[in-house]
Amino acid sequence: MSAARFQSGDTVAVSAAYPPGHVRTPYFIRGKSGVVDSIAGAYPNPEELAYGRDGMPALPLYRVRFKQTDVWPDYAGPANDTVVIDLYEPWLEPTS
């Protein structure tokens, strides 16, 4: 595995890609920005595993926190509510 590209506290954007096939990134979170809470470790690429490949090299998996109001525009709960989603590094982009 290569070194993790992001660290806790980094602001990242989820790629807005909509490729065909098996992907492990929820549709509703694509194009949204959040903050890396932690690095969960490195794991075989599940998108490759789905096609019977070995999933190597392992990819960093991040726990990314999003404001509920950023994810769901009609969210009626408290403004400080968040959701944490596990996302693999290829789906994340740095924000400026």
Structural tokens at position 85:
């989603």
Which CATH fold would you assign to the domain 11-94?
SH3 type barrels. (2.30.30)
16-69 pLDDT, tens digit per residue, is 987 776 678 899 999 999 999 999 999 988 888 888 888 899 999 999 999 999
Sheet holding 92-94, edge to edge: 82-88, 59-67, 33-43, 11-14, 92-94
Residue 10's pLDDT is what?
97
The structure's pTM equals: 0.88
